[in-house]
Structure 1
């Protein structure tokens, strides 16, 4: 039997993907749960520049999410509330509807660095309260590949960024 190395990832050695969308969304990030051998737990690392967010305001109907702020400061938009956040803060985003919609915005002066952790549901519905859209998707149990994905508003398929502020 071949000896395996322990499942360990060093955040400083991760290869990050850079992307930007419109005036509000920008990030350097990656998902790395698979590198740790995780199948039912998703984990990602993000670096968001000042004045930006890595995703629109949204809620998950099935998946729970958790965020751990490592560096920087920002605002956690949750339901109808906003809370200042910083290093050491742990943010919960339980499954629900618009009352659990969430978004992290870097309102500080340096990159906001955080971990995002989520349950990996095979089927998920997300709502986007700012734009009135929803996303429905399914993924395979192994490998996390998406088998079905649609973004819809009022019976019409739309682009992911359609109607989002700053997109």
Structure 2
């Protein structure tokens, strides 16, 4: 990792200036053999507080994240290079360079990307950064509450008066 890269596009006067994507350090994550991605957080580097824009690379045979949908946060995706498989609800779609898809907030159809090819694919992810979002993961029955930073099993539901006594 280079130590001469900037950490944001802000100048001495506190103004965010134009920048090159090459100014940003790539980050990565992985979980087991299935999940993993490499990314740069463009909007955050540029000073954004409300909209997130990341450029991601998905290696062959990897899934970017668990299948999920958002209650309050909209996401959009644009393929830049290569191709991958989008799982959206119960269907799959082939995404190629130039493909664009919107995942509206509240659309109860999970989405996830899998690179089915032998080449790395690259895409932009654009989304709100809603601190109150609730995310549902249909495959694992998990519900994540961003505000509290907690996750729950969706089958452990309660009626309004449960546990309140008489």
TM interval, short-chain normalised:
0.7 to 0.9
Q: Matched residue pairs, number?
A: 145
Query: Is the Cα contact below 8 Å between 2:51 and 2:127 reproduced in 1?
Result: yes
Q: Any idea what SS the aligned residue of 1:33 has? A: helix
Q: 1:155 to 1:93 in 2, by over 3 A?
A: same
Instruction: Report the TM-score when normalising by structure 1.
Output: 0.78
1:150 correspondence with 2:159 = no
Of 11, 31, 45 in structure 2, the residue corresponding to residue 35 of structure 1 is 45
Q: What is the Cα-based RMSD across aligned positions, in Å?
A: 2.0
For 1:54 and 1:14, the matched residues in 2 are separated by 20
1:110 correspondence with 2:119 = yes
For structure 2, list consecutive stretches of 5 or more residues without a partner in the other structure. 1-11, 158-166
Match of 1:144 in 2: none
Give the structure with the higher percent strand: 1
1:92 correspondence with 2:98 = no
Alpha-carbon shift at residue 47 of structure 1 (Å)? 0.8
Query: Is the Cα contact below 8 Å between 2:21 and 2:42 reproduced in 1?
Result: no
Query: Is the Cα contact below 8 Å between 1:7 and 1:35 reproduced in 2?
Result: no
Q: Say which one has the larger Rg.
A: 2
Instruction: Report the TM-score when normalising by structure 2.
Output: 0.79
For structure 1, list consecutive stretches of 5 or more residues without a partner in the other structure. 139-147, 157-167
Matches of residues 3-152 of structure 1 in structure 2 within 5 Å? 7-99=17-109, 101-138=110-147, 148-152=148-152
Alpha-carbon shift at residue 6 of structure 1 (Å)? 5.9
For 1:122 and 1:136, the matched residues in 2 are separated by 9
Query: Is the Cα contact below 8 Å between 1:19 and 1:27 reproduced in 2?
Result: yes
